[in-house]
Chain A
């Protein structure tokens, strides 16, 4: 009976192709939405964890003020001496890079490009896990002298130079011109979605003298040695900075130490929550799709009352009629689920490329969504199927 029931169901679906299609549309959209949301969410999470390594592992960020994003408002900035003190007094460090950034327009020939200009030392490249595409980083002599040399990011190179190598060329920033000595290898987007390659790096002193005109350092990047305890280093930093900033015991810190790993984890946590939320919203549409199936199946039972009467009269058992209608509902919803999965695969492929996220095909969510759609067929098909099976054959035959 099993195989025959399936054939009967398929025949019935084929007979009402348009209606069947409209019925399963809800399931198709629901499954596609759930799978797309979760797949893209997983991609985003993956992309964030990729950023952890591209940011540099064991990286701490020391900033003035208490909260991230508030900048230096109120709290005094750091200076190059702070960085020097950290380097000499805190143990287990690999690199300490005092940085100051400014957005400025860079001009090369007839082209110009607004980018972020960062002043720092050569430790900046170590802390940020930067590698060179060509040329070199600046050296200690250039740092001390505040020479107008710069290392440019891949985006800046793409925007301002043609195929030829920019190394040795000069570019104009405000009133001074600066020699390009190196090009950084591309790193892509940061965890916050910023293009990390849209950057120009110069010796700290150069930026302070020629762009900001102040001795301020806004952020100090601190890279710890492998295996160093984040807690210990943070504690040492805290004590040192409180001392240097002359804070008395009852005053709060007017600086903050951020672990980039922690930021990345917070971010992926947030993305995970968003994914779960969007997935839940999509799951509701799946549920609505299920109700759509129930609705159509109920209509179908009423419409086919006479047919059910005939089947019962010629000796169909209650459970056979039940199975026929249940199979129809399950075949419909499972088919809808399958189409939904295909749609999701196409959507994920396209959207992942558009949002430059990795496309992580997850068999588990696909299986889960498919299983769920089939289950919806059983759950929402049962009531109409039972109604069909329990019809009185005499009444059903008399039905117009």
Chain B
């Protein structure tokens, strides 16, 4: 299954080669990805666009190590992710990836601080370290004052900021954002994008973002268009806002 002929690009953080993903069997078989090749370098800000059903979400799940490809190779810093076990992928997510979702996905009835500290808990940090790093992350998204408020006491924009703080608290190499502004009005959406841009610029975090809004995608340095399970267009975005 693995493509032995893959040429490893030394400067690539993420490399997809001939990735396919098939759901179902027989008559109901549906090929969501039909051979995707993609290479992403450290420090890039990539927007993934495409109509629904184009395979962008499937690609995002595979990139986020939440799902495995049916065939093809996925190299993360030269490591074949498609060969990793479920727990090994979990460790990879824990140590190298951060997630921001459209629906924020904070723990209910839990304070902002506890939400942000959650990934540190799984990394086995001490309570003291968790508190310190967690508060620093909250400070970086400008919500230090809101540390003790639960998710339901925060606005949508604030919740997404907490989610971003949670995603970057482990200092990940890659931040995967799935429609991060989808549930926000345009003003809050742009604020979130400014925040992501600064994370990318100031902390060098590689960002992969799925969106269908062109003005949100415009913040990225590179835009990848998916159509029918294949990459239709991959271009450098000259006019970043």
Contacts and interface: CB of A to CB of B under 8 A. Distances in A.
- Please say whether chains A and B are actual partners in one complex: yes
Nearest to A4: B121
A394 B61 contact: yes
A386 to B, nearest CB: 14
Interface string A277-317: 00000000000000000000000000000110111111111
B90 interface: yes
Interface string A10-42: 000001000000000000000000000000000
Interface in B47-88: 61, 64, 66-67, 86-87
A133 B124 CA distance: 74
A345 interface: no
B93 A318 contact: no
Given A315-B94, A316-B90, A393 B109 contact: no
Nearest to B98: A314
A393 B118 CA distance: 16
B8 interface: no
A315 B93 contact: yes
B219 interface: no
Interface string A312-335: 111111111000000000000000
A320 B90 CA distance: 11
A245 to B, nearest CB: 86
A397 interface: yes
A311 B120 CA distance: 11
B121 A310 contact: no
B95 interface: yes
Nearest to B124: A1
B87 A317 contact: yes
B99 to A, nearest CB: 5
A307 B101 CA distance: 13
B222 interface: no
Nearest to B130: A4
Interface string A384-400: 00000000011001000
Interface residues of A, number: 21
B94 to A, nearest CB: 2
A310 B166 CA distance: 11
A310 B94 contact: no
A307 B95 CA distance: 20
A317 B99 contact: no
Contacts, number: 56
Interface string A358-400: 0000000000000000000000000000000000011001000
B241 interface: no
Given A393-B66, A394-B61, A317 B105 contact: no
Contacts of A309: 105
A318 B105 contact: no
Contact of A315 (B61, B101, B108, B119): B119
B61 A314 contact: no
Interface string B111-145: 00000001101111000000000000000000000
A397 B105 contact: yes
B107 interface: yes
B66 A394 contact: yes
Contact of B99 (A4, A8, A314): A314
Given A310-B105, A320-B122, A315 B91 contact: yes
A316 B95 CA distance: 11
Nearest to B176: A313
B166 A314 contact: yes
A222 B95 CA distance: 88
Contacts of B90: 312, 315-318
A399 to B, nearest CB: 11
Contacts of A314: 93-94, 98-99, 118-119, 122, 166
A393 B90 CA distance: 10
Contact of A318 (B87, B107, B118, B121): B87
A307 B99 contact: no
B112 to A, nearest CB: 14
B108 A307 contact: yes
B107 A310 contact: yes
Interface centre among B64, B122, B166 (most CB of A within 10 A): B122
B122 A315 contact: yes
Interface of A: 1, 4, 8, 15, 306-307, 309-320, 393-394, 397
List 4 tightest A-B contacts by C-beta distance, closest first. A315-B94, A315-B93, A314-B119, A310-B105
Interface of B: 61, 64, 66-67, 86-87, 90-95, 97-99, 101, 105-109, 118-119, 121-124, 166
15 contacts: A8-B121, A306-B105, A309-B105, A310-B106, A310-B107, A313-B66, A313-B93, A313-B99, A315-B97, A315-B123, A316-B90, A316-B122, A317-B87, A317-B122, A394-B66
